Amino acid sequence: MQKIESIKECGGYLNRYTHRSAVNNCEMTFSVYLPPQAEAGPVPALYWLSGLTCNDDNARTKAGAQRYATEHGIAIVFPDTSPRGDDVADEADRYDLGKGAGFYVTATEAPYSANYNMYEYVTDELPALLEAELPLLAGIKSVSGHSMGGHGALICALKNPDGYRSVSAFSPICNPINCCWGKGCFTAYLGRDESTWGDYDATELVKNGARVSNILIDSGLADEFYDEGQLLPENLKAACDAVGQPLELRLQAGYDHSYHFIASFIGEHIAYHAAALKAG
């Protein structure tokens, strides 16, 4: 783990690191915002998972989250969205498959299975590394994300209900087995046996018994991908309503899919996570 950048902001430090990932079999880059409270001792962490085409840099420069992290005394971890490197399989002519589009699954199909293991990376390898090397409280973490990363946040929490204190998402892909983005990536990464896809679909996980204490989702009603049927939050709401899984789905009029939308509500999400991270 090598620090390659450190910027002071909002009283803390936004640091960037590289390390060799064993599960992804490549060099990975990630960023961590450590609030000033971390100088006095370990703090809880919020993991932010970004969307298609992004890396660790998008949210840390556009969301405006760091000042709220300082207010509440929590760290924010910004992983990359996929493995990287010249030897990593890619679809150079597509933005929605390959590099920048890891979809937070464990790939089972060649050539992607050699590197595309983002689920293990964000749930196991990266937290273990950071809790050993940085002033983060062991096991005290929450997860959020945007679009593909919102999908990632939902499945990470639903598949590991004891691993995260809280979960939220902005414009998440809620039912990927039924949208074009999900079908394309799942076919490539997981194979054509669609019976295996539900393991990485929040709606299907809820239908099959996965539970968390609460889910907070914001989606914009002026979001082009909402209109195109890529996000399908109503499918998740129907699944949650059917089994009594608490879900606060806020459909925000006039907001799109961009970081302008995220920046408008990120403070509320961080306050929501901070309350859970500091409870008990």
> Catalytic site residues?
147, 223, 257
Round to whole Å and give the CA distance between 19 and 26. Answer: 8
Strands (E), the chain: 2-9, 12-21, 26-34, 43-49, 75-78, 136-145, 168-170, 216-220, 248-252
- Torsion sign, CA atoms 258, 241, 163, 231: negative
DSSP category for residue 106: B
Gyration radius (Cα) of the chain, Å: 17
Query: How far is the CA of 19 from the CAs of 2, 49, 167, in angstroms?
Result: 6, 18, 26
Query: How far is the CA of 1 from the CAs of 30, 84, 109, 256, in angstroms?
Result: 10, 16, 29, 36
